[in-house]
Amino acid sequence: MEQYKQDFSVVIADSGALFFKKGGFLKDGRDTEIFYNSGVLNVDPQYRWQAAKAYAAMIQHKMKNGFEITKIFGPAYKGITIAADVTMALYLNHSIKLPFFHDRKEVKMHGEGSIGGSKFLGPPLRDGDLIYILDDVGTSMTTKESSIDDIAQESLIKGINTRIIGVGIALDREQAEPVYDSAIPALSDEALFEWKKAHVVDGARGDDAKAKFEDKHHFEIDAIAGVNEAVEFLYEYKHPLMIDGVKRPLSKEEYVRFQKYMEKYCVRRWKK
């Protein structure tokens, strides 16, 4: 396991971004004991910086092996801070200078946006740009699809050719999409969540959203670490993390339960 993966595993454990808690549910309605909340990293600049260095080390490793990037893109909102931090880490730790840009939720029509309004803020897109998207997680990939569409539209308007060449996220849950016993109805968010909890098929694996996205766009989604390797590292080295509100190492029983959970819902690319 690369050093940057180990460092990242430690910071998400120390910060409480990765934690275990019984009786919880994912947004898709499946029960789970393991959660990841990247927003916790913003509590302490040290945590943010450690995470940024891990992203940067992952990107530097790719570039050292011939991967070319000309711009970093951070989708609103979480991706903006990530892109800003990571470009600084790339410069300070690896002497790699990369500009970054981000989008707005709406087109700005005043100030600099009053001249041919744009959804983007930062250095303008140029012909031949090779763009790498940074975000915190990749679940449904909806945000990434929207970003790709917006960049393609902006490029079309400008009459230039740009290309998205990859997506970088922090933690890959390595989990297949859920399966429900009937068609998903149109409900309010709260009611839909309760419906999903009642109708999700226990133990059933749906599609691999990450793999589908990669096949569609012909580039990879990189993760600093997969949840399995992060938890395995923390367990092996008895590094404490938040478990039901108490910071302590995972017990053997808890680790075995986690492994069974991964075997139940993991995507096929995951291996023990």
Decide if pLDDT at 251 tops 60: yes
Residue 116 has a pLDDT of 52
**Percent of the chain scoring above 70 in pLDDT:** 92
- For tokens 């108490």, name the residue: 246
pLDDT tops 80 at residue 153? yes
Q: pLDDT per residue over 9-35, tens digit each?
A: 999 999 999 999 999 999 899 999 999
pLDDT at 77: 87
For range 64-93, the mean pLDDT:
95
Which residues, at least 6 apart from 137, have a Cβ–Cβ distance to it below 8 Å?
36, 38, 169, 170, 171, 173
Q: What is the mean pLDDT of the chain?
A: 91
CB 213 within 8 A of CB 130: no
pLDDT tens, 179-224?
999 999 999 999 999 999 999 999 999 988 888 899 999 999 999 9
* Residues in a beta bridge with 72: 100, 132
Helix (H, G, I), strand (E, B) or coil at 25: strand
Provide the whole-model pTM. Answer: 0.89
- For residue 167 the two structure tokens come to 């997506």
Average pLDDT over residues 237-244: 97
Q: Of 7-21, 112-126, 131-145, where does mean pLDDT reach its minimum?
A: 112-126
Domains of the chain from N-terminus onward: 3-265 (3.40.50.2020)
Three-state DSSP class for 221?
strand
